[in-house]
Each structure stands twice: as structure tokens, then as C-alpha cells.
Amino acid sequence: MRGTVILAQVRDTVPASRVGRAELPGSCIRSLIDRMHTAQQGALAPRGPSSAPSAFSSREIDVPRLLAGGWDMVEVACRLYYSGRTVKSVITSMMNRLGLRNRSHAVAYVLRRKLL
């Protein structure tokens, strides 16, 4: 019964939110936030085999660290004295090995594991 009440409240609240009149009980909001957090964590989780932090080379830590700092691929290559192709290769290798979707996902993966 509780799930039905929450679903009905959400169903009624969504149209009201379009005109700024949305009201939900705090417990309902907390439940929605928890569900969204769980969904987000699942969506951002790598899809391939996991690797222990010791399995990362220094390159695989340095490249995402600099990307996380706001450097673009060319700047990362210059800063580490690598070619642009090497930087792309490092990221591509991580993405393939860990089942990551893009550079941002690779950076998030390294940040979550507190490797930076």
C-alpha cells in the first residue's frame, strides 16, 4: 500500500511541478533521492572486470589525474612528455580493460577509487 501511495503522490506532483506547485512529504523526497542515487551509481559503474589499484600503471594514474585537473589531451601529453597518441592509448586501454564508456568515466573511476 505504501508504494502505491508514493507512486500516486509522485504522479500527481509531476504535473504540479511544471507550474511551481509541487509538494511531497519529506519521506517521499528522501526515498526518491535514495533511488536516484542508487540508479546513478549503477549507471556509472564499470561494465568490465574490475582491477585492483595495484594493477594500474603510473601512466594510468597520471593521465586521468591531469584530465581531472582540467587539462585537455594535448596539454596532458605536453605536461607528461608523451605523444598525443600515447595519451589516447592510455585512456583507450583503461576503457577497454575496465569496461568504461569514455574519458569522463575513466576519470570518475580513478577518482572513486581514491587513486589520485
Domains of the chain: 2-44 (no CATH), 53-112 (1.10.10.10)
For 2-42, write each residue's pLDDT tens digit: 555 567 777 777 777 777 776 666 666 677 777 777 777 76
The pLDDT value recorded for residue 45 is 65
Q: Is the pLDDT of residue 106 over 50?
A: yes
Distance separating alpha carbons of residues 45 and 105, to the nearest angstrom: 9
The pLDDT value recorded for residue 27 is 67
Apex 99 CA angle, 79 and 103, nearest 5: 30
Distance separating alpha carbons of residues 25 and 113, to the nearest angstrom: 35
As a whole number, mean pLDDT of residues 85-107 equals: 90
Q: Is the pLDDT of residue 50 over 70?
A: no
The pLDDT value recorded for residue 89 is 92
